[in-house]
Amino acid sequence: MSFRTTRSARRAPSASGPPAAALPPSAGSPGAPDAPGGSGPTAAPRAPRTPRAGRRRDESAWGWLFVSPMVLVLGLFLMLPILMALWVSLLHWDGRSNPFGGQAEFVGLDNYRSLLTEDGLDRTLFVTSLRNNAYYVLLTVPLQTGVALVLALVVNQRLLRARSALRTAFFFPSVTSSIAVSTVFLFLFQGSGAVNSLLSWIGVKGPNWFADPRGVLSLLLGALGVVDPDHPSGPLADHSLLGLSWYQWLSGPSVAMCTIILLAVWTTSGTFMLIFLAALQDIPRELEESAALEGAGRFQMLRHITLPQLRPVLFLVLTLGLISTWQVFDQVYVMGQGAPGNTTLTPAFLSYSSAFDDADFGQGAAIAFILLALILCLTALQRWALRERDARPGRTR
């Protein structure tokens, strides 16, 4: 009796129920077969979605509403004049009649052809202005960027005394009127001016700066006996490109243009110094301290830490310098107006001269749009050259 009771007690399930492994899977649980005629596994309930799309549309609408006044102002005073000037560049307009009333002669692309493809005085003057401005850009942009960076590194020294006074002194030429500074430079660089007087103290006879049309490279080659600056000959003088001989292309900026370059570097370096200074103060000190602990010198710290951190600001400074140097006008207007021998002529001044002096507003507008296209292309090229280059992953064997 006791034996049967014991065996039956062993076989009887406990009050807590059978083990979990012995329970059949319930319907709807993972891995459970569908019961015949059942509704199958039921999906888990999803969390309710927030109306993000509606919120984004509302934020976009409110954003456009807030910026609409500025968009209207820019469209009215920027885009509309550009479109009007583009239409004028397709006309032969003397500035006296209404260019939108059908009174001006429509010439299409003739203004552009006369500047780029047709032989004549118009193309010669335009190509000469491009050559002069190209030398101006090639010398001014690197010099003003380098001087601004050096000045920023100097006034960023924490142990330097009178840093505020130095910053003010370096920035002062940038806030001075360009017309006033150009007038002062006219007195400084005249034949009997202060610059030639200082040069005479060291035994150097200074040139007549604003009356010397010779290129500085041709003068250098003439001093070395390679070419004759007054009477060039050979392949450089026999071959031409776009109406100018190779010697004219390669003779370099004139002595008069070099004075304008010095003026531009002196007046613009202070502004770019402040931009570099703000970027230098934004560099984390932990990077410099870590490099100092690793034993890096000043040159290594400048090359591997400072300059890489300044890459975006460097692109900004170079872009601003490129745009401003291709649009130089006021210094040329005061100091030379193209003289001597059209060696200080620039596209911006030529556009003004064609429109207001020669009463050919169509050609002046065409010069302005060619200059705009050139600036956009050079800015895109500069952006590509200064882009972030990702390091190529090494090959795994």
What is the average per-residue pLDDT within 184-192? Answer: 90
Q: Model confidence over 355-384: pLDDT tens digits?
A: 999 999 999 999 999 999 999 999 999 888
pLDDT of 390 reads 59
pLDDT at 239: 82
Per-residue pLDDT, averaged over 198-218, amounts to 88
Question: What pLDDT, on the 0 to 100 scale, is given for residue 294?
Answer: 79
Q: Which residue has the higher pLDDT, 130 or 162?
A: 130
Can you spell out the DSSP letters for 129-147? HHHHHHHHHHHHHHHHHHH
Q: Regarding predicted confidence, which is higher, 9 or 208?
A: 208
The Cβ of residue 273 has, within 10 Å, a number of other Cβ atoms equal to: 27
275-287: average pLDDT: 89
**Averaged pLDDT for residues 4-17:** 44
Confidence class of residue 206 from pLDDT cuts 50, 70 and 90?
Answer: confident
Ranges of H-type helices in the chain: 2-11, 52-74, 80-88, 110-116, 121-155, 163-175, 178-188, 194-201, 216-223, 235-238, 246-250, 255-281, 285-293, 298-301, 307-309, 311-326, 330-335, 347-352, 361-385
pLDDT digits (tens, 9 = 90+) for 55-86: 778 888 888 899 999 989 988 898 999 999 99
More reliable by pLDDT, 347 or 1: 347
CB 354 within 8 A of CB 331: no
Summarised one tens digit per residue, pLDDT across range 252-270 is: 999 999 999 999 999 999 9
Mean pLDDT of the chain, nearest integer: 83
As a CATH number, domain 114-215+252-385 is 1.10.3720.10
How many Å apart are CA 343 and CA 255, to the nearest integer? Answer: 9
Do residues 106 and 90 touch, judged by C-beta distance below 8 A? yes
**What six digits make up the tokens of 84?**
């009007």
Task: Report pLDDT digits (tens) over 89-142.
Answer: 999 998 888 888 888 899 999 999 999 999 889 999 999 999 999 999 999 999
Of 48-57, 161-170, 354-363, the poorest mean pLDDT is in 48-57
Q: How far from 282 is each of 12, 267, 285, 295, CA to CA, in Å?
A: 79, 25, 9, 23
pLDDT, tens digit, for every residue of 301-352? 888 888 888 989 999 999 999 999 999 999 999 998 998 889 999 999 999 9
Domains of the chain, by residue range, sit at: 114-215+252-385
What is residue 74's predicted lDDT score, i.e. its pLDDT? Answer: 87
| pLDDT value, residue 237 | 80
